[in-house]
Chains A and B, each alone.
Chain A
């Protein structure tokens, strides 16, 4: 299976080599910028889907780019694809790596070939000199924004059900950190802290078991939208009110459009953004429209409150449909 896929990729790459070689020979001094993007496949998540779309729309032919993409969840396949782009002779290489290790050799080769590398979404464990810049989300900051919003609600007591994402993932570590600090400081009570590994149905079971135990809670902090939805389903079945005028505050992350609509309807209270929109920032850097003093560029991210959210926010920032 894997072999087959590698073979197909190799075949496609070989073919595209030939095509571009012809193009280069015939075209002469065309000014398009060749960009190779190594990314995770859009099927990975709603986030990735928006991310891929964003890349495609920014690095379009109209904007003067020649975009080549390769999607894989596997690091070795990503490495092969990057290798392919280097051989092919792209001008810029954009990478969101499946794993943080194993990229030294490829990035060194890119450097030797004079190809400039940008990292997006995810960092890689390599020397800073090997890439131009890394445009990433700061998950810890996302968590802080959310917890600060929660503190601003000035509840008498905070009894929190904390539903975590897949343990060890960047998003989970970042979004858990800020809340853990509050638990440690004693400003908030941890009713239960469980991972549902991004699984909506699992989140529902976790909340259900708390309800069945009869323990009191007034906040659900779910580390993504799906799990928040699962938690709310459990509340609905047990007749517990939630949202703007409800007993329980519901918080989610990722800003899927459907989740923001829940906010707009007042069923949820807060949704934290995890911006998949890095293409514009990178494009601006490539074209010299902006410069950055640091190599690590944090993508600006918002948190939406049900009370202040507007339809235009949904249209602008919402992911998916």
Chain B
């Protein structure tokens, strides 16, 4: 009984809702099509052995979202608000990447690294721009980032001066799809790498504690010597890094940057991933893992709907319904009610079992 209760108490934590959502989606798909999650091994057109299947499509397709959700979680926790310019900023980062690659005489490992670093620096600068507006000028995050949201894609256009510049190179292809000899899509590996980097960041610095302190009670954090302006600014700069990684994945998938459509509407999905992950959108305590799972929930939902041949114009509506359900179920009000219900059931069970013993 005791262990049971403990398990339950642990399960009622932040990750319950996203994990239940994933499990339900998996069960739903297995009933609909038992072979839905089958993974096939085959040769792709470059002659590499690769894994394919819906499961691979889901975790691969969610990569940009997952990376952005990690950074967004940090911004949400520190600032109690969200950055709605991540899609536009990713378009800028992607454009910078393409610009540098195109201006190089030959695309090799060095130029790709240089291009990524340039994209990263530019994205961090734009992140810092948002961060300064939020942390120094105390503008509401959504309002502050609205500026870049509005003009970001135009800036992305100016960088290359063309609508859909393309780059083709085996290296870019390897980043966007498969590295020869590795059957797992590279974006999935990048997500794993980013998750590990965050883990290390939290392990080797006290950023997590400071960010949560600033988010929960900024005034108290300040009086404990934490520079909350710096923490907020830092969260936006780290999000900038995530934005450049997401932009790079997005560009590399097709070897093309379309400033109008690259990661279009991703900001809303990102915020949702953070919310589904059980993080408080008002700031404070957070779990990066929750947001990553949230990203996969959203992507699994999309792929499921596609597999059901739901028209992609309707997909958004279905997604909205499921997401509303998830967010409502995850709300404190419902959680509290549910907790009370469980408590009642448990105490009933107890009396029954006691009676039974007699």
Interface residues of A (CB under 8 A from B): 1, 42-49, 167, 192, 194-202, 204-206, 208-209, 211-213, 225-226, 229-230, 233, 235-241, 256, 258, 320-321
Contacts and interface: CB of A to CB of B under 8 A. Distances in A.
B177 A198 contact: no
A238 B42 contact: yes
B259 A237 contact: no
Given A200-B261, A212-B52, A229-B256, A321 B44 contact: no
Contacts of A230: 254
B52 A235 contact: no
B44 A239 contact: yes
Interface residues of B, number: 45
Contacts of A1: 150
Contacts of B254: 200-201, 204, 226, 229-230, 233
Interface in B300-335: 302-303, 306-307, 309, 311-313
B260 interface: yes
Contacts of B307: 209, 212-213
Contacts of A202: 261, 312
A206 B164 CA distance: 21
Nearest to B151: A1
7 closest A-B pairs by beta carbon, nearest first, are A46-B163, A43-B157, A209-B306, A199-B261, A236-B45, A239-B44, A258-B166
A123 B163 CA distance: 24
A245 to B, nearest CB: 12
Interface stretch (B53-61, B274-282, B284-292, B350-358): B53-61
Most buried by A among B43, B256, B263: B256
Interface in B150-206: 150, 153-154, 157-158, 162-166, 176-178, 185
B311 A200 contact: no
Contact of A236 (B44, B153, B306): B44
12 contacts: A43-B153, A43-B163, A198-B258, A200-B256, A201-B250, A202-B312, A204-B254, A206-B312, A211-B52, A212-B54, A237-B44, A320-B163
Given A43-B157, A226-B258, A236 B50 contact: no
B53 A212 contact: yes
B216 interface: no
Contacts of B306: 194, 205-206, 209
B52 A237 contact: yes
Contacts of A240: 45
B253 A195 contact: no
A209 B312 contact: no
Given A201-B262, A236-B44, A239-B45, 6 more contacts: A43-B157, A48-B163, A201-B250, A204-B254, A209-B303, A237-B45
Interface in B25-71: 42-46, 50, 52-54, 57, 61
B133 interface: no
